[in-house]
Structure 1
């Protein structure tokens, strides 16, 4: 694997790290510090962090996907945790770590996961309707489509996929799931073709996104991570989160500003009680990829980086 250089982000065929330099710079890395990469993946961001740490520094890397473990470097400063990042505090305690200097989370699905047909993440490949990040868990996308009520399906497509005709879509699935098979990605798209609204590629991408988020409880895990970060970051420690859709970005923005996940409406000018989050916001507006990065890596187009510092 290529090591990070000043100009070249560390990456491999598994995944190209997004907003690489911006994220590392935003963490303001202390050479002897303890850092967490909550989404190890191909290890690109992790190698960048290691490149800035001294021999006394430490990196704890989380990834629930068994495939990611093959990318872990042979480095005594690295502790790899093959679990979802929602178990952050539990494993820090296990390794007797009370406070950390920084945390990075890149919430995008890796290129490897999208390109593996057997994972069922992509509309581009025929494969089983799986979508599990952690193959050890039981529920798959097919299980959800077979067992969820019409109301539950309506809610998840509306909330996680922002599908415009979510109600019609849910009804169509419930009416057809006993007579049509959707064991594979192509079978699902074929079954849904009568209710597609707008551009098919975009529509199916929204449907797949909603199912993937639900299968992996991505929003629940993100909330757990953010709340725990407030407990484990030491004063002056930084958290950098890279999101890829508006649902994630709103959660991060609201938490950094208010310490909660409630939607922020226009500030009340007469409100005298200031709600404190415990964080100082470093990025008033999210950092987005440059035109050059988007050209080099099309999957970076929707990425947004927000950084905050613990009070």
Structure 2
């Protein structure tokens, strides 16, 4: 929905123009957001292909392909115009792939993409209408339904299984150092191995105005303070658990963010605190995804209580 001004008989007249969603609160087109998001993910894609080869390619192709086909099928069933060309299904499939291990069975990858598009996006009305990040919906479903199949990790350039950083931390064993994490030699799901690439991509999105800096800053700050208060190494927990992927590409999704600057800051802090609590006390490898899903559900409350009010306006 937009408001246009037209000048007639010496005065300005306001005309209400209704347009289809998404109604993003910024002067940025959906196409530009989608294209820049995909471009910012490409370094991560290339890095993961280098680390895991055809396994990573298989997961990405299946996730993106299934997301596109599901979008087309659902729009056909709804009798609506095909929106697959807006690229949002590609973004959803690609981000979903980053949340999965390269060992994920093919049928699980496809199922996750179908759930992400059909239940995470289209059931709410399609692009821009979803209150939850679609990739998160698909990933949480898979994590709850098939934890055994997803919690199998392999190292780069190898088919041998490894323990994730979280598993090593829980067991009290020697942890991978900062250098190993930054070099992409330690991790669990694929996005955790691409820390540097995703950090660079996320910073580009912030500089171009596609992600509000308040969300990742609030998230990073909350995780650091929470872990420090518990006597943990804040930096180590920021480098693991897919925090960078979550901060920029999942929690940073403008469609599922609060509408006010303060709301987005509180949202980021909330995600960080929920992540810290679930990770420390629940020791769950999917802590990041549950944290974002929970805070997505609280966005209407944040919009209600942290909205900007004009002087004299009723509460």
Do both share a fold (TM > 0.5)? no
Structure with the higher fraction of residues in helix conformation: 2
TM-score normalised by the chain length of structure 2: 0.29
TM-score normalised by the chain length of structure 1: 0.29
